[in-house]
Chains A and B, each alone.
Chain A
Amino acid sequence: MKGVSLILLCVVVLAGLSLLSLGIGRYPVSPVAILSWLFSGECADRNLPVVLLGIRIPRLIAAVSAGGALAISGAAYQGLFRNPMVSPDILGVSSGSGFGAAMAILLSMPVATVQLMSFAGGITAVMAAVAVSRVIGRNNDSVLVLVLSGIVISSLFGALLSLLKYIADPLDKLPAITYWLMGSFADIRTAELGTAVVMVLAGTIPLLLVSWRVNVLSFGEEEARSLGMHTGLMRVVIIVCATLVTASMISVCGIIGWVGLVVPHISRFMAGANHRRNMPVSFLVGAGFMVAVDTIARSAAPVEIPIGIITAVLGAPFFIWIMKRSSARAW
């Protein structure tokens, strides 16, 4: 399928999923009623605008941004580090951002500061993972060394995060941090969400613009230079943008694992390896996946299920399947 038509198809599927998701819930609304309200501004049911504007639309926006952000940053990291096994989780970005944001929440800092701390934590983690892998691997950037370094950094930040929870006020801050860490869109506040969406756009647009260059970078430092690329600058741009989108969503909806690892693989099956197509398709598939997962999270059980639990339960077996499939043919 041609790139443009594949992307259009993804947009249509995402729109369909969104419409279904808006209708499903404790207060069911028919998709027809939603569409007629969206286009005419009128509806028979006076509760409908309240439910949609107050609850479901902000959640939908959060799910689309988070899924898209995690997936596109996963695709960007995989291309940049020429390593199909890395993701925001594995590189330590998620736990680094989580630690930064938890620190800010613990100190009751304003929204913008939470965002900033989250970004600072994420960028520190990814730099540390890369530095450790350089020291251990002596520049022969093997797939495994970077993954292991990321796991080390990730568990280090995980420990620091536990420390924060340990010293947090058990009546007030601790439940807030714990619940937020498991990943949820239930507590989304419009002000936070607005800031996060702007950050996601600020990172996603440059990533899409340089997506062709990610291909060239995936050949490694020297070969990319011999193809005429200013590699140092491009690496910084991609790491900063990918970390920005991940960190800004983590700071509002907690740590949601697996999406950044699994979705780029799915979109590679759909769109091919070329990052020019893989990165936008990753964003759309990630967004659609997250909308579906969030709908399950809030409607499958009487009590809301944390998103991170569902993505792990779906992601882990799926990833095993991918590994089996991929090891049959070279990556």
Chain B
Amino acid sequence: MVNGEKITIEIRGAGLGYNGRAILHGIDLEIVAGDIVCLLGQNGAGKTTLFRTMLGFIRPVYGSVMLAGREVSSLSARQIARMVSYVPQSYVMPFPYKVSDVVLFGRSVHLGLFASPGSRDRKIAAECLDLLGMGHLFSRPFNELSGGERQMVIIARSLAQEARFMILDEPASNLDYGNQVRVIRKIRELAGRSIGILMATHHPDHAFMAASRVAVLSGGTLSHNGSPEAMLTPETLRHVYGVEVDVFDTPPNGHASRRVCAPVVE
């Protein structure tokens, strides 16, 4: 990590897609360390395409996608992974790895070709697990954890990678209500440690809870990009999701007032 300098992910006038055909056009997005950007959009709106481009799996069709001032497509997987980590949707692993191993896998990018992790790597991995409040799971098999615990462990792995940015693909989906809130809280904590976060979500409420900015993918482009309060109006939500949604502020009850959405069901 470079200190002092402002590190950003910067997408400028980019078209993104596969085999030279852009499915997303005119994308402009900037993420600074410490930001939480929530990415909303229907299934198939192109969230995965955007992520895959930012992680260097596919090249932009046109325009530029820059990571700390350099084109992502000119960087190696190793260089990218030192700056951006990725948290996929929760899943079951093919092998019964222990939680401690899974978090250690995040250290791979800092190891030589033939090396395996040393005591310093183990210490960092244990700290990351503790930071997410999952230290007690250290020697459990990953596949026997609950969905919420698995998600936290994968976030810990991502943290162990010590990258400045973290991309999360629907981190709260498939989790029960309590775990959704816990994951969102942890993500806010991570941003406080000046990690830049881009997370996809299906719930506009998650954006109100956590995001400093919200970006909405619809109609093949980023249709909205700004603060959640300014962007997530009943009109926008109707436009994106096709349903009526009320948006209002919670009454003050000891906590800070916060904006929430309530879909209209009748």
Task: Determine whether B143 belongs to the interface, using a CB cutoff of 8 Å to chain A.
Answer: yes
Which of B55, B92, B101, B114 is close to A274, meaning CB atoms less than 8 Å apart?
B101
Total count of chain A residues near the partner, CB < 8 A: 31
Max chain A Cβ within 10 angstroms of own Cβ: one of B76, B86, B96:
B96
Please encode chain B, from 63 to 93, with 1 for each CB lying within 8 Å of some chain A CB and 0 for all others: 0000000000000111011101110100011
Q: Which of A79-95 contact B (CB under 8 A)?
A: 79, 82-84
CB-CB under 8 A from A212, the residues of chain B are 108, 111, 115-117
CB-CB under 8 A from A274, the residues of chain B are 97-98, 101
Is A84 within 8 A of B111, CB to CB? no
Give Cα A225–Cα B79 distance, bound, in whole angstroms.
Answer: 11
Task: Determine whether B113 belongs to the interface, using a CB cutoff of 8 Å to chain A.
Answer: yes
Is A226 within 8 A of B86, CB to CB? yes
CB-CB under 8 A from A223, the residues of chain B are 86, 88
Q: Which of A201-242 contact B (CB under 8 A)?
A: 209-213, 215-216, 218-219, 222-223, 225-231
Is A227 within 8 A of B109, CB to CB? yes
Task: Determine whether B52 belongs to the interface, using a CB cutoff of 8 Å to chain A.
Answer: yes
Closest to A274 in B: B101
Task: Determine whether A29 belongs to the interface, using a CB cutoff of 8 Å to chain B.
Answer: no
Is A273 within 8 A of B97, CB to CB? yes
CB-CB under 8 A from A225, the residues of chain B are 55-57, 77, 81
CB-CB under 8 A from B96, the residues of chain A are 268, 272-273, 329-331
Q: In the assembled complex, how far is the CB of residue B79 from the closest CB belonging to chain A, in whole angstroms?
A: 8
CB-CB under 8 A from A218, the residues of chain B are 93-95
Is B161 within 8 A of A330, CB to CB? no
Max chain A Cβ within 10 angstroms of own Cβ: one of B55, B76, B98, B105:
B105
Max chain B Cβ within 10 angstroms of own Cβ: one of A84, A212, A223:
A212
CB-CB under 8 A from B109, the residues of chain A are 227-229
Q: List 12 interface pairs A-B (beta carbons < 8 Å), by A numbering.
A: A211-B116, A216-B105, A218-B94, A219-B105, A222-B55, A225-B57, A227-B105, A227-B109, A228-B81, A273-B98, A273-B101, A330-B143
Q: A212-B116, A329-B96 are in contact. List 12 more A-B contacts (CB 8 A).
A: A79-B95, A83-B94, A210-B113, A212-B115, A223-B88, A225-B57, A225-B77, A227-B81, A230-B77, A273-B97, A330-B96, A331-B94
